[in-house]
Amino acid sequence: MANVFYMCATGAYSPTAYQLKFENDRFTILSESIGIGICPFDPNDNVTAVLIEKGSIGGIPALFAGAVTDFSKHDSIIARLPTYRQDGSLEADYVRTVRSRHDWLNEPQFVGSFDVGPYVYFFFREQAAEYSNCGRKIYSRVARVCKNDLGGSNHLKNIWVSYSKARLNCSIPGEYPYYFDEIQDVKFHGDTFYGLFTTNINGLPASAICGFTLIEIEKAFDSPFKEQKEKQYIWLPVPPGDVPTPRPGNCSAIGKNARYSIDFLPFISRLSMLMDKAVAHTLGRPIFYKVNSVMQRLVVVKNVTGPRDLVLFTATNNGIIYKIAAWAGLTELDPPKTYIVTTYVPFNDQRSIWQLVFHGSSIYFGTDMAVGQLSVETCKKYKKIDLCLYDPYCGWATDFEECVSKDVERRNKITYHHLDLLSYSLEETIKKQVGNLYNPETLSKTAGSSVTMKIEYKLHIIGSVRWTRNGTGVSGDRHILAQDNSLIVTDLRVSDEGSYTAVDNKGRTVASYTLVVETSKEQIEQRWMRKFDQWCDEFERYQEDIRQWERKCSSCCDETALANIKVPAIGGGK
């Protein structure tokens, strides 16, 4: 139904589900029902639900959910609610995971559910049963069930016969991989799931975004099942000969007229339905990761600039929203280049952001107490060329030397895709587009005065720079390094003359000055004469501009109108 919303409420530990209709800028309640198995008991619990229309049994829309069914949270479930025909008769009864089987679901926190082909996928984190002999550990999972699953028979009546799950591997590769084990959010685009993961809160806080393709997920579900023969045994793959036919999880082999081998249902009864192989992430490494940050919500935007480029928005537990550009690698086998291009801090205090939604040209976010809106386009704040080009929503207008929206028409505008990073470094390819990244200058100052040599490099500089004079590092009380990396030299002396160069921590020359210290009266007079000559030239150009302006006005304006026009006042020169 159009404009109808399905809403969950904890109902003071009495889960309640509502159908709401939105019309005339107001919500009205269409129906109210018990929400156990769909809605949470506790506001801090994470549940998920998805309405399936295509491929559902009898063509009747069915609600699939991951939640808990009791106040104590001992009975976690993945379930499909019963569906009914228009005459009120039952089309398909409910189906769920096995009750109180912690090897099927062990204190799960659900983060997402998706309708993909014949399956419904559920993403969650849970206590890892296969790690229980070594201690308490949380793993991230993807589970799936078939849409046409009617459940088993006898002791498996109303129990999934297609349920299986696999671990999600989001880690930094190495001799000792660094794992991000706790999934916080997930989004699906094209054939890839993008998951937001964190480390355990008791360790070093860090967050990562990993991608999982349907092909890699299918490989994991085609791998052997994993089992623990006895409680103290290690978990091992199930031999292929012990797996019944049809293989559990095969949607084409189940349904109303399905016939199972004699060992099919006992196999499901005794196994955890955990796969031996973990789902590998794309390119074997995270798309993005950041330490000392706990990110808990994710938005993925594709096709801003190209089919392989991504814009990622994440929200943290302390009220920060990051905009991250993930530019595709030079080939499909190369990892993307990622940059945090904008950091939004919408609040003065630290508060968790629980919801993040992209719509139109804005990001909407929600906290416990407020809802806010932010523009995704922040081009005007970029004063450096590289920071502008990193942002997929922006481009650099070389004629005006400013960052503009990618949708603004400029004759000489460059974007990240104009950079030939295969042949040149970032600095070299930008230089080919815009020319010199800094302009060498000559400064003349009188002895005893002070001079400031500024950094006006056109690219972003991280950290401090090192200044040298004639190749030797500058030092002493009269040489001051300002916060913006400018060099201030006080009480100038003749010995301060020379060539000054600033080099950043990447080895780039970012400024160059030639300093002349004037001591004689003649030198000072000559410098002021040069200044006076420059001012005279500038004044003459100004007068010529005024004369041209007056000639143009006289050809199109009458004398009365011309008399009312105010000519700009003549300003002084330097």
Q: How far apart are alpha carbons 485 and 465 in whole angstroms?
A: 6
Per residue in 341-377, pLDDT (tens digit) is: 999 999 988 999 999 999 999 999 999 999 999 999 9
Query: Are domains 379-434 and 441-518 of this chain identical in fold?
Result: no
Main-chain dihedrals φ then ψ at residue 171, nearest 5 degrees: -155, 155
Q: Are 445 and 516 in contact (CB under 8 A)?
A: yes
- What are the Cα distances from residue 81, in Å, to 67, 117, 135, 150? 12, 19, 35, 11
Q: What is the DSSP letter of 41?
A: S
From the candidate CATH numbers 1.20.120.160, 2.60.40.10, 3.30.930.10, 3.50.50.60, the one assigned to the domain spanning 441-518 = 2.60.40.10
pLDDT tens for residues 294-338?
Answer: 999 999 999 898 888 999 999 999 999 999 999 988 888 888 999
pLDDT at 198: 97
Sign of CA dihedral 144, 146, 150, 155: negative
Q: Quick one: pLDDT at residue 329? A: 86
pLDDT tens-digit readout, 497-513: 999 999 999 999 999 99
The closest alpha carbon to 50, from 188, 170, 158, 163, belongs to 188
pLDDT band at residue 105 under the 50/70/90 scheme: very high
How confident is the model over 191-231, as pLDDT tens digits?
A: 999 999 999 888 899 999 999 999 999 999 999 999 998 88
Can you tell me whether residue 485 is helix, strand or coil? coil
How would you classify residue 136: left for phi > 0, otherwise alpha for psi between -120 and 50, otherwise beta? beta
| In the chain, domain spans | 304-376, 379-434, 441-518
Asked if CATH classification 3.30.1680 holds for the domain at 379-434, the reply, yes or no, is yes
Question: Which residue type does 476 have?
Answer: G
Look at the alpha carbons of 75, 79, 85, 90 in this order and tell me if their dihedral is positive or negative.
negative
Question: What distance in Å separates the CA atoms of residue 97 and residue 180, rounded to the nearest whole number?
Answer: 27
Q: What is the 3-state secondary structure of 105-157?
A: CCCCEEEEEEEECCEEEEEEEEECHHHCCCCCCEEEEEEEEECCCCCECHHHE
Band the pLDDT of 52: cuts 50, 70, 90. very high
The pLDDT-based confidence of 527 (bands split at 50, 70, 90) is low
pLDDT band at 233 (very low <50, low <70, confident <90, very high): confident
Contact 169, 192 (CB under 8 A): no
The candidate with the shortest Cα–Cα distance to 414, out of 435, 428, 387, 434, is: 434
